């Protein structure tokens, strides 16, 4: 669906070719500060200055990045949703009745769901999620994870890339794992997941091993240990 | 801290009383009593002169304000966003900011004659640098994260301007407007005094020549009242409306 090559002279990312297929649910793991967000930005076309024509992208940034001076209703209208679809979208993320609220009136979890509604509003072929569960309490995080799983089930052709630190999230959402490490960052690991508990256990130990070697890399490079 | 309206109702009448006592004690035509000023005001209003000159001055203020804002906003945003434009215009800005308004007015009258266009141009050139500097700050403070958002969601230039930029620039636009009105109406009076034969500035000029202090005060007070009216009727409601989202309050922590 999308083949992306990172340029040779990028300050954060080493040259690599990434191939994303329809229905890929990729979890992007790796030590913090490696450039996972940079990679998402690159895939969204934000690093190059040109957007990706013909590819509808929904991007859930770490902050909600809704326009604080517009109501949720208007925020969704601004990405091209018609009036009566707005309420359906808000209902889909559990925010029905909040259309007239401003983003800053919402809790962190609600604002993130509102931002997710905006992602869905463009009917994305590629959904980028940057640490969607960060700084949510476990209950809210589980709620949001269930919501995303539900969403993925309904849109089998949509590709998703989710940055996370938790192997548990990866196990719950992903069918493919990217592990980014090093400086400049390279894809250490690209694995399609098998299903079942054995696969998860295997993945966990593999990632722990990778994490250790990444920490060793970082220590050798003079960076902070992970 | 914002002064309470109560303070106005205490301090202002107190000032009037003080003025009255001074006028009564000194008993000179150089300090007429408030009543005498009110009388002059009534007289001028009855003859229609007050309204005519006020209208002409306000028209000059409005035209030069609109031109200065339009030009200043364009230049300021361009300077804030494009380093090349900033490098080109910055020396000019420094020059104009430090050039006394009076010099500019005299130069333009000398070069173009005592015509309306020269008067307006003098006011506009005086004001544009202030607006540009304010808006340059605003343009530099635009949130890059919202720019990225607008790029990902393919906002058209018009949409980006109206929904992403203008709300962020709004406080800077208001500051430029407030500072602009205060500065512009003062410069307009000087321009009128030096080279026009109508308007409040011209009337002040006439009053000055015959030491008609009552006339001076009457026209000044009328003008101050109008500027305050603009603030109360236009600017403050506009600000309240635009900052609705700020005051909507945080319901959830």
**For the segment A183-209, what is each residue's pLDDT rounded down to a tens digit?**
888 887 777 776 655 666 666 777 667
Q: In which element (H, E) is residue A18 found?
A: strand A17-20
How many CB atoms within 10 Å of residue B160? 17
Cis peptide before A184 (omega within 30 of 0): yes
User: What ipTM does the predicted assembly reach?
Assistant: 0.85
CA distance A82 to A76: 9
Instruction: Output A52 or B60, whichever has higher pLDDT.
Output: B60
- Residue B163 at interface with chain A, using a CB cutoff of 8 Å: yes
Question: Confidence band (pLDDT; 50, 70, 90) for A223?
Answer: very low
- Residue B245 at interface with chain A, using a CB cutoff of 8 Å: yes
**For the segment A127-152, what is each residue's pLDDT rounded down to a tens digit?**
999 999 998 999 999 999 999 999 99
Interface contact B245-A46, CB threshold 8 A:
no
Chain A residue numbers touching B167 (CB-CB < 8 A): 67, 69
Give residue B127's Cα distance to chain centre: 9
Q: What pLDDT, on the 0 to 100 scale, is given for residue A54?
A: 76
- Number of CB pairs, chain A paired with chain B, less than 8 A apart: 55
Tokens, residue A213: 């070697």
- Residue A68 at interface with chain B, using a CB cutoff of 8 Å: yes
Tokens, residue B206: 């006439």
> Which of B146, B249, B251 has its CB closest to that of A65?
B146
CA distance B6 to A58: 53
- Residue B140 at interface with chain A, using a CB cutoff of 8 Å: no
Q: What pLDDT, on the 0 to 100 scale, is given for residue A181?
A: 85
CA distance B89 to B124: 17
**For the segment B196-226, what is each residue's pLDDT rounded down to a tens digit?**
999 999 999 999 999 999 999 999 999 889 9
- Torsion over CA: A51, A57, A60, A64 (sign): positive
Question: Confidence band (pLDDT; 50, 70, 90) for B179?
Answer: confident
Tokens, residue B161: 């301007």
- Residue A137 at interface with chain B, using a CB cutoff of 8 Å: no
Q: What pLDDT, on the 0 to 100 scale, is given for residue B241?
A: 86
> Which of B151, B159, B245 has its CB closest to that of A69?
B245
Residues 6+ apart with CB under 8 A from B69: B131, B176, B177, B180
- Residue B146 at interface with chain A, using a CB cutoff of 8 Å: yes
**Taking the CA atoms of chain A, what radius of gyration do you get in angstroms?**
18
Assess contact for A126 and A39: CB atoms under 8 A: no
**For the segment B107-142, what is each residue's pLDDT rounded down to a tens digit?**
999 999 999 999 999 999 999 999 999 999 999 999
CA distance B103 to B109: 10
CA distance A138 to A115: 19
Query: What values do phi and psi take at B199, rounded to 5?
Result: 100, 165
Give the residue from chain A lying closest to B158, CA to CA.
A78
């Amino acid at each position: 669906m999308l083949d992306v090559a990172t340029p040779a002279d990028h300050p954060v990312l080493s040259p690599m070719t990434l191939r994303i297929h329809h229905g890929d649910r990729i979890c992007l793991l790796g030590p913090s500060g490696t450039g996972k967000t940079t990679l998402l930005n690159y895939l969204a076309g934000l690093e190059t200055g040109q957007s990706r024509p013909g590819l509808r992208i929904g991007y859930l940034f770490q902050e909600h990045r809704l326009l604080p001076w517009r109501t949720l209703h208007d925020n969704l209208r601004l990405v091209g949703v018609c009036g009566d679809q707005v309420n359906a979208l808000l209902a889909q993320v559990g925010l029905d009745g909040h259309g007239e609220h401003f983003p800053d009136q919402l809790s962190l979890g609600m604002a993130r769901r509102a931002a997710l509604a905006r992602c869905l509003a463009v009917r994305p072929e590629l959904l980028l999620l940057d640490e969607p569960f960060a700084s949510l309490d476990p209950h809210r995080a589980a709620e949001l994870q269930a919501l995303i799983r539900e969403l993925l089930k309904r849109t089998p052709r949509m590709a998703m890339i989710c940055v996370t630190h938790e192997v548990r999230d990866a196990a719950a959402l992903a069918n493919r794992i990217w592990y980014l490490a090093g400086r400049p960052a390279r894809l250490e690991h690209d694995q399609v997941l098998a299903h079942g508990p054995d696969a998860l256990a295997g993945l966990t130990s593999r990632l722990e091993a990778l994490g250790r070697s990444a920490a060793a890399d970082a220590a050798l490079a003079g960076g902070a240990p992970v | 801290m914002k002064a309470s309206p109560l303070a106005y109702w205490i301090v202002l009448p107190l000032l009037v009383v003080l003025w009255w006592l001074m006028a009564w004690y000194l008993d000179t035509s150089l300090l007429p009593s408030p009543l005498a000023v009110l009388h002059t005001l009534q007289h001028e209003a009855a003859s229609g002169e007050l309204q005519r000159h006020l209208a002409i001055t306000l028209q000059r203020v409005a035209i030069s304000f609109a031109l200065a804002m339009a030009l200043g906003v364009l230049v300021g945003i361009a300077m804030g966003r494009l380093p090349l434009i900033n490098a080109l215009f910055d020396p000019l800005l420094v020059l104009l900011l430090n050039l006394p308004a009076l010099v500019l007015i005299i130069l333009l009258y000398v070069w173009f004659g005592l015509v309306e266009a020269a008067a307006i141009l003098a006011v506009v050139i005086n004001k544009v640098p202030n607006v540009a500097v304010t808006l340059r700050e605003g343009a530099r403070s635009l949130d890059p994260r919202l720019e990225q958002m607008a790029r990902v969601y393919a906002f058209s230039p018009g949409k980006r301007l109206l929904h992403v930029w203008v709300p962020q620039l709004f406080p800077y636009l208001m500051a430029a407007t407030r500072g602009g009105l205060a500065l512009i109406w003062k410069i307009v009076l000087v321009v009128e005094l030096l080279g026009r034969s109508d308007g409040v500035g011209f009337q002040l000029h006439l009053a000055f020549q015959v030491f008609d202090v009552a006339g001076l005060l009457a026209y000044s007070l009328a003008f101050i009242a109008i500027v305050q009216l603009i603030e109360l009727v236009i600017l403050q409601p506009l600000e309240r409306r635009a900052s609705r989202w700020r005051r909507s309050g945080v319901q959830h922590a």
